[in-house]
Each structure stands twice: as structure tokens, then as C-alpha cells.
Chain A
Amino acid sequence: MAVNTNSSAGKALAQASLSRKKVGNPMRKRLFRELKKDWKKYIVLFLLMTFMIGLASGIDVANDSMMAAIDESFEKYSIENGHFELRDKASDELLSKFEGAGIAVYEQFYKDLTESKKAPNETASDDKEVTVRIFKIRNEVNRACLMKGEMPAKADEIAIDNNHAYVNDIKVGDTLYIGESAFTVSGLISSSDYTTLFKNNSDFMFNAVDFDIAVMTEEGWESLPSSVFYQYAFKYNEKPATTSEQKKKADELMEKLAVLSATGGLTDDKEAAEEMSVKVQNEDPETLKLLSEHENDVNELKDFVPEYANQAIHFAPDDMGSDKALIAVLVYVFIGVLAFIFAITTSNTITNESAVIGTLRATGYTRGEILRHYMLMPVIVTLLAAAAGNILGYTFFKDVAVSLYYNSYSLVKYETLWNMKAFIITTILPLILMMIINFIVIYRKLRLSPLRFLRKDLRTSKRKKAMRLPSWSFLKRFRLRILFDNMGGYIVLFVGIAFVMLMLAFSIGLPQTLDHYKSNLDENLLSNYQYILKGYKDEAGNVISTSEESAEKYSITSLETIDGAHVGEEISVYGYEEGSRYIKVDEPLNGNEIWVSSPYQKKFRLKKGDTITLKEKYEDKSYDFVVKGVYDYDGGLCIFLPQKNFNSIFGQDADAFTGFLAQNTISDIDYEQIYSVVTIEEIMSIATQLDHSMGGTMDMVSWVCLIMAVLMMYLLTKIIIEKNATSISMVKVLGYENREINSLYILLTSIVVVVSALLTCFLAILGLSLVFRLYMRSLNGWFDVYISPMGIIKMILILVVSYAIVACFDMIRIKKIPLADALKNVE
């Protein structure tokens, strides 16, 4: 049969000329079309990556800019090399002896008073008590950075801490009641030696909510009705260069200051002081005479904090450093999950295009060319996300991070700095991670021969026959086959869910942990108030007493650990009266037998019968104690022993005590005799502060988790359904209804999601406990992570609800798969 063929072809071919032009790779033209075709998927990936990169970049930029400002502040605001506190004001003679130890000493006396926004007659009994530590304006060391307003110029003006003002909504111009008197807030300051508001260096946690730092004019300060704390800042004449040198020098200095104080400046040598002490005991007249001549110079070192060990100076930068590390880990895990999503998408595309790839390979395209082509899309999307993320990082997210930091710390003014390291960590490394994961997955896929691609035979396992399944119903077996076929996708789904669960564990677990800690503490608190007296006798030598019925004598001192989980951790030693109402140890303890508080037991993993050694903080003296039991008290790391044993161990008079435990305030003891009062607010300060710093953030994290879970599951289930589009189309052709198809694909994914949620939930809690334990080991104090059964249910529910939303989209997607797909794609 003759046909009308294209008879011009031969002529045209004869005319066809050779081109000298080298043609660019036309495969690149696919990229834009691929983006356009699957824009929803790429938008979701782009947004998720942009968010993570932006967040990490914002935190890094804010962090490093602020860290630079903090580093600079040591010079700019003349931060101390350390400070110490004496029982009384040091005499000029003693001060000059101190300065002889190679330091310059600066007075920075302070007074601790109550602060309130309400007038004294308006305050309610349940109003929380805020302590404000007030200094005279310091011009030589530890100068303040004025953040807003003016420094106080009049006696009735006060400048308070910027962070405290922020969290308590106090503004310049507001009236504050300090003790009984009203003061006008003239300005807000960041004090360079209190970037983190630790009331005492040994405190478990800083507390910007209930503790404040302030400065006043000399006249205003003198008028304050409170006892003075005689604190002195010092600077070395020659500052040691390294931390170990600082420690050595600080230890030597502390010993000298302690000896000089105790001997009234007669010697700074410990052994000479001990000899002197023996002579005093032997009533050596010469020594007694010498001491009486220096009676006014004798003092006592109450506290010594070198700069390197000062939490108020170093907690913020240390914590900010760990934030950066945590966020970097989160970014890498998340980008890793996204990279696998990309790799699975590409792997499915390669499967769909296997015949084309086979043809290209057969025509001479190298594996490398095809690999580069398929890697281009993830790289482009990551680059675009990195660009957008960095722009957002330097603008929006940086401001978010800054406000989070100002919410927690009292930081000085900063300037945004370009940060190459942040760029590498948040942009280059994620890009490399994306490239490596995609390279490995795609390379493995492309390793097959061109012929295998042409035959669409891309199985990598050597299994020739399908796995035999138990004789379950057809639908169950069908589902199982789908599961095996899409194992890669389901594994990434599992990892993604684990990631979301870990974040959910943080966002739900942390507030619950704090609530649990607070309520536990409320229930088993020793007493509402712990009064510490300057001495148990008044000036006349009478034992101080009170008519307050709830008051009970007790003793307290501090020792520190020398080994175990945290060396140098402060341990409170409580001495209780026999039959105490507040400390109920229900077995008689002899000699050095003690009970330890539950946090101490947990942190240091103590057992009954263990012997622990604790030492005096500023001396070499150490004490051994035998653990006889565990006291259920979450208020701190403490040990408990009877008052008489306490006095005998610490060489005190038989009737000596430190203060009173009481349920109500004691009003009949002169404030001059009270050294300090520990309230429930102070004991709970860690929970209050963490709650404040993280409370709002945790709600936000929960929402972010929900959105991320929805987007991630949307992507993964989309990939799984797309991969199975031909099969779905085929079963439609065979007469299956959408309902039945949903029961195959959606039900299977639902089962995978629920099972993954259950498994990863416990993994996430385990992960959170581990992170929290590590975190707590570096802090003073201890408490365990707690997530209630309701919290666990909430975590699972958030995930399941997220999936329910996604499943609705999936059902629509399945409904939309045309019947023609099956017929088009079958050869």
C-alpha cells in the first residue's frame, strides 16, 4: 500500500547543516516547569526551611551582636575582677592591707529592701515580695549602662534594672515604693555586673521577676531604712590572663582577705594566723595586746566572688552560647528531615522517569550529569530559603531573639553585627547537609545500569519474589504491601514525627515540670519564712527570741561539694530542733548522721550508708557525713541533722542557732538584727524565672510544632500518594470506590502516624529528660522533668489532629487522581 510520506524529508536533510554552536544543557529548563508544576510542595519546603534558617540566623546574629557588646562592656563599664563582703565596714587600715595584696578596692555598699508599685497601705498580704538591691551610683567600677531616661539626680529618684522593669511593666516616670517611701523612676539601667539578676551567687536560678538592682544618689541611699551590706569590688593590679591563673590568684586572694580580716590586718599568712589563734587560746598577753590595739580592724569575710565565677556576670553569655548550640542542632535535625523529604521526592521522580534516564544514559549522558541535574532543585530551593532566611534573620527574627533575651537578661546596648560564622552555621552547613543527603540517596539510585532504567527495574534488593505474608484478609495484605513499598517515606515520616514530638515535649513538658515543681514545693515547703539573724544574741548578750507562735529555732550554714556530679555546688546544712514542726526526720540521728534532700540524692545519686564529704566554702576545713535517709523536700540541695549535732560539728555553743523558721512574718525582732529572710518566692525563684522566660515562648513553640507537623506530614503523605498514583488509578479502574481506596492508603498512613506518635512520644520524653539532666548538672540545684499523663495525651493529640487536617487534603488528592493515569503509564 502506497502512502504519502514526507517526501521533503530527504531534501531537507540534505540541506541540514552542521551547527558550530555548542548547546547549553536543556535539562535546566525543566527546573522552572517542575517548580511551577509542584509549587505547593516546593513552597512548603521553602517556607519550612526559611523559617528554620531565619530563626537560627536571627538567634545567632542577635546572640553574637549581644555577646560582642557584653565582651566590650568589661572595658567600657569597668567590670570588677571580683567582689567580697565583710561583716562590718572595713577600717582604712584594713583596706590598705587589702590593697597590699595586689588589688584596688572599691566600696559598693548596698541595701536590700522591698519594692512595690503599690503604696504600703494598698498592698495585700498575698502580693509577691520584690527585693531591690540598691547601690549608690557607681562611677569607678561596675558602671551602669543607661538604657532609658536619666540617672537619678535627686534624693527621691531611682534608676532600676531594665530587665526587671520590662518583666514587671515599670516605666520611666512611674512611682515605686521602696520600703515605706515613694521614689520616682528616673531611668532604666543595665548594670554590667548584674546582666543576669542573681540575688546571691549560690542561687539556683536568677530572678528578674522578684529581684531588682537599682542606683540612687548618695543622699537618697543614706536615707533608706535598712541595714547595710558591706560589699567591696576589686580589680587586680595585674590581671591574670587565663581562667586557671584567675582561679589560682582568686583562691590565694580569698585566703589572704579572710586571714587579714580575722586578724585585723596583722598578717595575711594562714599559718601565722593559726599560731596567733593558739596564742590567744593560751592567753598570751603580747598577742592579746596586739589584737586589742587592732580591735577596730578585725572583721570577717562573709562572701567572696571572683569575676570568673560570678553567675550574675557570666550566666547570660554562657546561656546564650548554649542557646546557639541547641538551635544549631535543631536546624541540622530539621534540615536533615527536609533533605530526606527532598531525596525521597527525587527518588520517586527518578523512578517515574526511569525510561528517560535509561535513554539519556544510553545516549551518552554521564551519571554525574544526571546526578547534578536531580540535585539542582534541592540546592536551588535551599539557596533561596537561605537567602530569604538570612534576610528575615537579620530583621524580623533578630528582633524576636533580642526581645527574648531582653525578657530574660539585663543586657547592655548592642549594635547588629554582620556575622560570618552565623552565616556558615545557618546557611552553608545546612546547604552542605542538604547536598550530602541528596547526593547519597540519588547516587545510590543512579548507580544502576542504563538497561535497568530502560526496563524500569530499579529494585535494589536482591529479593526476587514478593515477601510471603500471613493469610490475612486481602485488604490487610494490600496495606502491608503499600507499607513495604513506601518504607523510605514512612521512615522519614517517623523521624519527622520524632522531631516534632521532641519539640512538643519541650513546649508541653517544661511548663508542666515547673508547675509540678511549684506545687510540690508548696506542699512540702519547710516553712513560709526562714529568718537568718546576724547573731543569736543581741548587743546586750541576751538570746534573741520572738513571740510569734509559729517560729521555731533552727540553724543553717553552707558547705560545698568536693566531688560527684557538680564540684563546688553549695549544700545547705540545716540543724533542726528535736520534735521540729518543720523538719520531720522520723529517726534519731547520731553524730555525723544526716538525711539528704531528695534533689541532692538524685543529682549526686546517693544511697543510704554513703559517706559524703563537704567542705567550708572559704576554708580548707571539711566534714564527713553519713547518709541515713532521704528527706522529701524539693527546695534545694540540703542535708538535715539535729541542732545539737550541728552545733557540736561546727564548734558552736550548745544553745546557738541561726534564726527562725516561721509560717508568718516575725515583727518583733529589730531589722538591724536580721541578716536576711528567705521567702517561698525566693525558693521558687527558679520556677518563677523559667516560667517567665519560657512560658510565652513555650505556647508559641506548641503552635510552631502544630504548623510544622501539618506541613511535614502534608509533604510526606503527598509524596507517598504521588508515588502510588498509578496504582490508585488502577484500582479505580477496577471499580474500587474512593472510600475503599482511602481505607487502603489513608488508613495505613493513619496507623503509621498513630504508632509513630506513641513510640516517639516516649522517645521524646526520654530525650527531654536527658537534655534536662545534662542542663541541671551544670546548674546549682536540681529538679526532674515531669510530664503528666494529660501532657502525654496532649502531645499525641496535637500530632493526630495535625494529621487529621492533612488526611482531609489527602482524601481530596486521591479523589482527584484520574482513571487515565493507569492506562497512560502501562506499556
Chain B
Amino acid sequence: MGENTFLTVKDIYKSFGEGDSRQEVLRGMDFTVSKGEFCVLLGPSGSGKSTLLNIIGGIDQADDGYIAIAGDKLRDMDEKALTRYRRKHLGYVFQLYNLIPNLNVKENIEVGAYLSDKPLDIDDLLNTLGLWEHRYKLPNQLSGGQQQRTSIGRAIVKNPDILLCDEPTGALDYNTSKEILKLIEDVNQKYGNTVIMVTHNNAISDMADHTIKLRDGKVRKNIINENKISAVDLDW
């Protein structure tokens, strides 16, 4: 483990089902991520990337191996400690936004702010996210991109150490996807949060500090990107 290692994924195994229907999803996953790194987990469907993200997020458990954040192993934490860990250190962004339908944009962001003792200033953040004009709209009055920006706002308002993004552009068009990626890049640069993003889009790995390619539940390539480009310049 290097000096700057923040996240350690050590020999993770995970399977679902029993007997004949048993399926091994993760088969000995090993890698580390440094603090403040923008890390992309890249792989096709069924490669185990979302499962791995859930285990890192403490909402799923590995059958074997461990995850350590700043040296603290998640497997040693009970349910309360895990909740506390998520509350204090994690931000989550999902493909389908999962906003609360009867709260407006600002209130949805407040849902994240409520968890923090020192949240970011919500009005500033609304401006940052380009949602100021839409702050009183309900989710069903927003486009997909605006909804995803709101969900990012909800995740980052508490200024988490790690931002976990599960296919955040999976449901968006090309232009909107790039807007969202740029936003995440800006967040990473400004606050130094460690970003771990799951995607199946190869192009996104170009903007990452670190790309881990997965296939069949194993790390196939672990690439440190020396020549990363800005999200603005991505093309696919």
C-alpha cells in the first residue's frame, strides 16, 4: 500500500445464488486508490463493477477479502458504524437520480445537507450546478440532466471524502452526459474528493487519473493515466 493510499480493495470475492444457480461476480479483486484520485471502474455488463461499488459503499458485503478506507476495514464495522461511515464520508450518485418526487430541487439538495454538520452553502451550490432558476421545481418538471445535477448536488453538498457514481450518465444524452462529467471533474478538483465512477463507456477513462478495467469479476488492467484530458474534450 502506497503512502497516499486512501482506498484499499483487497482480494474481494462475491457470489450470488446457491447450488447450480450460484454465480461468482467478483473473483479476487485487488487494487488501491489514492486520496483525491478520479478513478473509473470500467467494464462491460456483468463484470461486477456495480457490485464492487456497492461493497465500497458499505451497502453490500464481500464474501471474502476486505475494503479499507483510510486504514479502517469496513468488515469490522457493525451496521451502525457503517451507516455512520456512509453519513460522514460518502456521497452517492445513481444512474436513475432517485430524487424525492415531492421535494423541489433545493429541498432535495437539503436532504444531503441535513446529514452534515458543515454543509456547503446551498444557494452557492445551486448556482454552481446551474439549477438556481429551477430551485423550486419538482423533479418531474426537470430534464434528465437537471435531475442528475440535482442528485450530484445532493451527494456533494455534505462535502464527502468519497463520491461514488454508478453510471451517472447512463440515462443521459451525449451533451448532457458531458455536462455532468465536467461537473464531477470540477467537484473532484475543487474539493479533492476521491471519485470512484462506474461506467461501461471507454471514453470516460480518458478524463480519469486512474482506470481499473474489469472483466468477469477480475481486474484485467490497472492503468494510471498520465495524460488525462478534461471532460470537455471527451468524445465518443
- Measured CB to CB, the residues of A under 8 A from B are 1-10, 12-27, 29-30, 33-34, 37, 353, 355-356, 358-367, 449-451, 454, 827
Contact = CB atoms under 8 A, between A and B. Distances in A.
A1 B98 contact: no
A34 to B, nearest CB: 6
A13 B118 contact: no
B90 A355 contact: no
12 contacts: A6-B183, A13-B128, A14-B190, A19-B121, A30-B103, A34-B102, A355-B96, A356-B101, A361-B86, A363-B92, A365-B115, A454-B94
B54 A25 contact: no
Interface in B91-140: 91-92, 94, 96, 98-103, 107-108, 110-122, 124-125, 127-130
A363 B115 contact: yes
A359 B98 contact: yes
Contacts of A14: 190
Contact of B92 (A9, A10, A362): A362
Contacts of B83: 361, 364-367
A780 B182 CA distance: 88
A26 B178 contact: no
B154 interface: yes
Nearest to B102: A33
B122 to A, nearest CB: 7
Nearest to B188: A13
B68 interface: no
B98 to A, nearest CB: 4
B232 A16 contact: no
Contacts of A1: 174, 235
A13 B233 CA distance: 20
Contacts, number: 151
A27 B109 CA distance: 11
B59 A361 contact: yes
B174 A6 contact: no
B190 A13 contact: yes
B227 interface: no
A537 to B, nearest CB: 93
A5 B178 contact: yes
Nearest to B51: A451
Nearest to A361: B59
Contacts of B118: 18-20
A33 B108 CA distance: 14
Leading 6 A-B pairs by shortest Cβ distance: A364-B87, A26-B110, A12-B128, A359-B98, A364-B86, A23-B113
Nearest to B118: A18
B130 A18 contact: no
B186 A10 contact: yes
B120 A6 contact: no
Contact of B124 (A16, A24, A33): A16
Given A363-B92, A450-B59, 18 more contacts: A2-B232, A3-B174, A4-B175, A5-B179, A5-B182, A10-B182, A14-B190, A22-B117, A25-B114, A355-B96, A362-B57, A362-B86, A364-B90, A365-B83, A365-B115, A366-B83, A454-B94, A827-B96
Contacts of A9: 128-130, 182-183, 186
Contacts of B91: 363
B102 to A, nearest CB: 4
Interface of B: 54, 57, 59-60, 80, 83-88, 90-92, 94, 96, 98-103, 107-108, 110-122, 124-125, 127-130, 154-155, 159, 174-175, 178-179, 182-183, 186-187, 189-191, 231-233, 235
Contacts of B182: 5-6, 9-10
A19 B159 CA distance: 11
Nearest to B179: A5
B128 A454 contact: no
Contacts of A27: 100, 103, 111, 114
A367 B107 CA distance: 20
A352 to B, nearest CB: 9
Nearest to A13: B190
Nearest to B235: A1
B98 A355 contact: yes
Contacts of A20: 118
Contact of A363 (B60, B87, B117, B128): B87
A142 to B, nearest CB: 67
A22 B120 CA distance: 10
Contacts of A353: 100-101
A17 B191 CA distance: 11
A16 B59 contact: no
A12 B153 CA distance: 13
B15 to A, nearest CB: 15
A367 B98 CA distance: 18
B77 to A, nearest CB: 13
A12 B59 contact: no
A168 B160 CA distance: 80
A808 to B, nearest CB: 29
Contact of B98 (A17, A24, A26, A356): A356
A363 B190 contact: no
A34 B101 CA distance: 11
Nearest to B107: A26
Given A6-B182, A29-B107, A363 B127 contact: no
Nearest to A364: B87
A340 B114 CA distance: 31
A749 to B, nearest CB: 27
B29 to A, nearest CB: 18
Nearest to A367: B83
A2 B233 contact: yes
A356 B107 CA distance: 14
A6 B130 contact: yes
A37 B190 CA distance: 40
A299 B94 CA distance: 100
A463 to B, nearest CB: 15
Contacts of B60: 449, 451
A363 B154 contact: yes
B114 A26 contact: yes
Contacts of A361: 59, 83, 86
A13 B125 CA distance: 7
A363 B99 contact: no
Contact of A23 (B98, B110, B129, B130): B110
A18 B118 CA distance: 6
Contacts of B175: 3-4
B45 to A, nearest CB: 15
Contact of B127 (A12, A24, A362, A451): A12
Given A34-B102, A451-B59, A12 B124 contact: yes
Contact of B111 (A15, A26, A34, A451): A26
Contacts of B59: 358, 361-362, 449-451, 454
Contacts of B191: 13
B110 to A, nearest CB: 4
Given A23-B114, A364-B90, A451-B59, A17 B102 contact: no
Nearest to B80: A366
Max count, chain B CB within 10 A of own CB: residue among A27, A362, A450: A362
Contacts of A34: 102
B126 to A, nearest CB: 10
B121 A16 contact: yes
A39 to B, nearest CB: 14
A34 B100 CA distance: 12
A6 B179 contact: yes
Contacts of A37: 102
A103 to B, nearest CB: 73
Contacts of B92: 359, 362-363
Contact of B189 (A10, A16, A450): A10
Contacts of B115: 363-365
A30 B104 CA distance: 10
Given A19-B119, A359-B92, A10 B190 contact: yes
Contacts of A7: 232
A195 to B, nearest CB: 57
A450 B98 CA distance: 13
B124 A356 contact: no
A10 B191 CA distance: 11
